[in-house]
Amino acid sequence: MNQKNTTVLGKISKRFQGRSPLLPIALLPMIVLFAIVGVFVWVSFQTGVIGTPDAEYTLQNFRDLFGDPFVLEVLENTLIFATSTTFVALVIGLPIAWITERTTISPKELVYAMMTTGLLVPPVFIGMGWTFIAHERIGFVNKFLMSAFDLNTGPINIENPIGMGLIEGLTLAPLAFVLSVQVFRTMNPALEEAAQTSGMTFKRTLIRITLPLAKPAILAALIYIFVIGLATFDIPAVIGLSSNVYVFSTYVYSEAFPPDGLPEYGIPAALGTAMILVAVVLTVWYVQMLKKSERYQVITGKGYRAKQIPLGQWKAAAWLFICTYFFIGLLLPILLVCFMAFLPYITPPSFEALKLFSMINFEQMNWEYVGRGLRNTVLLMLIVPPVILLMAFCVSWLVVRSKSNARYFLEFGAFLPHTVPKVVMSLGALLLSLFIVNDYLSIYGTLSLLIVVYVICWIPFGTRALNSAMIQIHKELEEAAYTSGLTMIRTVRKIMLPLLRPTMLSVWIWTSLLVYREMTIAVFLISQDNVTLPAIVWGRWTMGSPNVAAAITVLMMLAFLPLLVVGWRFARKSRL
């Protein structure tokens, strides 16, 4: 297999005319990704003890999959959940994006700060907070309503696909905001001005010009969020697992990590394989929409801004909308998590509850274990971003600057991790490390395994940012260096890197924040040694100590507060 790879590598580098020493670095993550997905697909065609001579190659898994009424229910749940998620995220994110960019609302920085904070907070925290708020039995709103109206069960129920989608939508609204704010900012103002000078009213212009122009980008954002909704793990796991409400990701998890009995890999692998196909189709559609939307954009120069609509008396309504979202989507759940961290058991917030306040959760915490989680998380945050930057730089350089046809392959390969659900990637990495490479390389249970998967997972993030930054750097700036006698290495060092520095810094900060908040991959791949803080939070939560989980969450937020501030400042800066 190794032999084959080198010849393929050789062929591809030949197509680059042997001019690029960057190629092997660019190809490495893709080869690992193909290996992970390959193993996953391979397992989906096996029954029995996989990877051994006892394994049987069959289509049985796929037959079981679509014949099983439970799996069909899971699929139905997943669809409902993803739809609900997308709907909520867009209904909140789009209007706020439009208000921020196209009206006179001020200070805009505040809106950006509120929305980007939402991007930084791990969704698990929000899921936990909302469990404390609206869980059928323990949620304080339900408890209040039950006692007020003398009910036997709580009237509000979030442990269902629609409810979980609602919470997931709240956590993804900032993403919808970020994806669409771009469109409203880069839209050519002359197009709207032309409509106005043609005698169209504000409303007509909005309906006939602005929205149709924004449509491909909005549709792209919709597909993007829907794909996330199909695959996401955090919130369905935190809220749904205890009530036996399963979606795709939690189903795969519960099969691979059953509370009792042997893990079942074949059927979840079959489901995951099907899911990859769906995601690939959706992603191709997404890319098409994105390309279409880019046609409508203008590259903005300084002081080139779309006209802003005076808000007038609508100002209060706009702020009310934004603040309401901020409160229920972020502030309230986090406040509740903080509140529960100081209580020995779940108690609705009240003045009486304050009397129960204590540090007991912190005192009885397994500090050695938490310390290990902290150390691993910090290590990951330090190691993963530079590796991603290095590889993404190589990929982007070749994609943007090379003339060879192989660049299309690279572009596709770098985008592929987007389409592979994290659950699939993690389980694939688990299977690969346990059953294939274990004899040569005992990587399972080590931090290195997490590093590999994290890097592959967020390479598209880096290549996307660097691609667009490199495209904006006029090719002639680089050519001027060559004709001035600079070698390629020097051109990179003296011209390209300094020009790309802002983008690289922001990719660095953002990927380290993504690492900080990542739970899914860790949950699938941790053992005692390579545990991370989010995984510890998850562990405590599922083992029935929600207050301890809340206490660790508070620690996590405090420990990384400085980084959150940096990330927040960067989000504000990258706006300009």
Partner 1 sequence: MADNIIVSIKGLEKNFNSDRGPVRAVQKIDLDIIENDFVVLLGPSGCGKTTTLRCVAGLERPDGGSIEIAGTVVDSAKKNDFIPPEKRDIGMVFQSYAVWPHLNVYQNVSLPLTDGSRSVPKDQVSDRVMESLKLVQLDGLDSRPVTDLSGGQQQRVALARAIVTKPRVLLMDEPLSNLDARLREEMRIELKKIATTAGVTTLYVTHDQGEALSLGDKICVMNEGRILQMGTPEEVYARPPNLFVAEFVGEMNFIKGTVSGPGTIKSSLGERTYEFKETYSVGESVTLAIRPQHLSLKAVSGSVSASPVGTISTKTYLGDSVLFEIQLPEIKITVKDSGDTTFAEGQKVKIVLPEQNWHIFK
Closer residue to partner 1 in complex, CB, 1/576: 576
Asked if 569 is part of the footprint of partner 1 (rule: CB under 8 A), the reply reads no
In order, the DSSP letters of 237-288 are IIIIGGGT---HHHHHHHHHS-SSS----HHHHHHHHHHHHHHHHHHHHHHH
Asked if 303 is part of the footprint of partner 1 (rule: CB under 8 A), the reply reads no
Asked if 477 is part of the footprint of partner 1 (rule: CB under 8 A), the reply reads yes
Residue among 79, 141, 338, 499 that touches partner 1 (CB under 8 A)? 499
Per-residue b or e along 154-177, where b marks 16 or more CB atoms closer than 10 Å to that residue's CB: beeebbbbbbbbbbbbbbbbbbbb
Closer residue to partner 1 in complex, CB, 4/302: 302
- Provide, rounded to whole angstroms, the least separation between the CB of residue 15 and partner 1: 14
- Provide, rounded to whole angstroms, the least separation between the CB of residue 187 and partner 1: 25
On the CB side of 27, CA atoms within 13 Å amount to 17
Residue among 487, 529, 543, 565 that touches partner 1 (CB under 8 A)? 487
Closer residue to partner 1 in complex, CB, 162/488: 488
Asked if 14 is part of the footprint of partner 1 (rule: CB under 8 A), the reply reads no
Closer residue to partner 1 in complex, CB, 442/487: 487
**Closest C-alpha among 414, 417, 418, 420 to residue 397:** 414
209 Cβ neighbours under 8 A, 6+ residues apart: 191, 192, 195, 200
Q: Binding marks (x or -) toward partner 1, 437..476, rule CB under 8 A?
A: -------------------------------------x-x
Residue among 202, 367, 482, 569 that touches partner 1 (CB under 8 A)? 482
The token pair that represents 8 in the structure block: 């393929």
Applying CB under 8 A, the site for partner 1 has a residue count of 18
Q: In whole angstroms, what is the distance from residue 233 CA to residue 251 CA?
A: 10
Closer residue to partner 1 in complex, CB, 173/481: 481
Q: Is the dihedral of CA 263, 267, 273, 274 positive or negative?
A: negative
β-pairing, 56-57 vs 46-47, is antiparallel
407 Cβ neighbours under 8 A, 6+ residues apart: 398, 399
Residue among 261, 485, 544, 562 that touches partner 1 (CB under 8 A)? 485
DSSP helix/strand/coil, 56? strand
Choices 107-115, 245-253, 439-447, 479-487 (CB under 8 A): range interacting with partner 1:
479-487
Where would I find the H helices in 473-519?
A: 475-483, 488-491, 497-517
Asked if 481 is part of the footprint of partner 1 (rule: CB under 8 A), the reply reads yes
- Provide, rounded to whole angstroms, the least separation between the CB of residue 488 and partner 1: 8
Closer residue to partner 1 in complex, CB, 189/502: 502
> Which residue ranges make up the site for partner 1 (CB under 8 A)?
474, 476-477, 479-488, 490, 494-495, 498-499
